[in-house]
Amino acid sequence: MPKPSRSRVKACESCQLVSGTLYRAVVDASGKWKLVCPVCRAKVESQPFYRYGGTWKADKRH
């Protein structure tokens, strides 16, 4: 029998928009990791300090 999926909620650390998918990324010169929404990620991914660190999803299978 499959486990029920879990659903969690988090907000973007840049714009505070609640999103089901967030990206762990370095978005500024500070070098600190932040969880950002797809809109904010698109704004910073062409910057020289941008670094991708993984995807956080609200719906987990386990």
Phi-psi region of 41 (alpha: psi -120 to 50; beta: other; left: phi over 0): alpha
Question: 3 pLDDT exceeds 90?
Answer: no
Domain ranges of the chain: 12-60
Average pLDDT over residues 7-15: 88
What pLDDT, in 10s, does the model give residues 23-41?
999 998 999 999 999 999 9
* Strand-pair category, 10-11 with 21-26: unpaired
Is the pTM here over 0.85, yes or no? no
Q: What is the pLDDT of residues 43-55, one digit of tens each?
A: 999 999 999 999 9
Structure tokens at 32: 């600190």
CB 60 within 8 A of CB 3: no
